[in-house]
Amino acid sequence: MAFNEKLADRTREIIAETHRNVIEKRMFGGLCFMVNDKMCVGVEKERLMVRLDPEKYEEVIEKEGCSPMDFTGKVMKGFVFVDMHALTNRRQLDYWIKLALDYNKMAKVSKKNVAGKK
């Protein structure tokens, strides 16, 4: 199991309550939830990856279980990891997913790879 299936199920359930245009993609050794064709949240082994408004980064980085996303060795402002121990109840997980879904409305769709197309 490359990612936490229980956390993925909980995340899927919360997103499905309000969004229909959701695609799940396996990437970065985990499962990424693309909402409206934009990366929104991801699930790894024992943590949630959250894409959020970079303006809220300093505010949330101090919360329990939250750490910078430094997947490539470089901190990515606008992305954080949240450890499982800080996601033990619905209210906690709702908070992080809501942050991601709120930003998703403003986020830009990444450019699709159109290699080979003319």
Q: What is the pLDDT of residues 25-61, one digit of tens each?
A: 998 789 999 999 999 999 998 999 999 999 999 999 9
Residue 86, SS3 per DSSP: helix
What confidence tens digit (pLDDT) does each residue in 97-110 have?
A: 999 999 999 998 87
Domain covering 5-104 assigned CATH 3.30.300.130 in the classification: no
* Beta-bridge partners for 22: 35
Domain boundaries, the chain: 5-104
Asked if 61 and 33 count as a contact pair (C-beta separation under 8 A), the reply is no
Tokens found for residue 29: 């050794």
What pLDDT shows up at residue 111? Answer: 66
What pLDDT shows up at residue 58? Answer: 94
Q: Edge-to-edge, what's the strand order for the sheet holding 66-68?
A: 22-27, 30-35, 38-43, 47-51, 79-83, 66-68
CA distance 86 to 46: 11
What pLDDT shows up at residue 76? Answer: 86
